[in-house]
Copies of this chain bind each other. A is one copy, B any other.
Amino acid sequence: MDRTEKLVQALREAGLRLTPQRLAIVRLLATTDQHPTAQMIYEQLRPDYPSLSLATVYNTLETLVDLGVVNVLGSAGDDAVHYDADTDPHVNLACISCHRVIDLPSQYVHALEQEVATTSGYRLLGARVVYYGLCPDCQREAARQPAGGRRHRRRRRRRGEHHQTQSGSEE
């Protein structure tokens, strides 16, 4: 609930309006640990905000990123940008197979960010500390399937593909 307040505060201080859509997006972003994409946010809010537009999600994300309260992590193997409302220094781990992104506590990122802030000469707006590879689950998965020598050419995932295999009762 504190992170939500931080984003709301940022909007207020920037003199921007606090619309229900923005509030909903902010709340979702601030409370999830999912590092969602615009599409994910859109789908998760649609039930409660039937009129919500994807364009608004993108607009709001851009606004929050410009305000420096949301970081742009980039793609996780899917072709969509993932966002992170947790701007405290931390490491993100992206699985290029299941496209999930999780956080990893680290004792060095703080020093790293500090170092960058003081030595770069840049006016920093955001961080993108992501290591990508295969998560434990997907490694096992890969071990099962002898990984048919298919090199090259990847299939593009369809628009509405959901992730979530946690132990899921999806679909």
Q: Which residues of A contact B (CB under 8 A)?
A: 14, 16, 59, 62-63, 66, 72-75, 91, 93, 95-96, 104, 106-109, 111-113, 115-116, 119-136, 139, 151-152, 154
Contacts and interface: CB of A to CB of B under 8 A. Distances in A.
B126 A134 contact: no
One complex includes copies of this chain to the number of 2
Most buried by B among A16, A75, A108: A108
B121 A132 contact: no
Interface of chain A, helix or strand or loop or mixed? mixed
Most buried by B among A14, A75, A125: A125
Given A72-B75, A128-B130, 16 more contacts: A63-B152, A72-B132, A73-B74, A74-B75, A93-B116, A104-B116, A106-B116, A107-B115, A113-B131, A122-B136, A124-B131, A124-B132, A125-B132, A125-B133, A127-B130, A128-B131
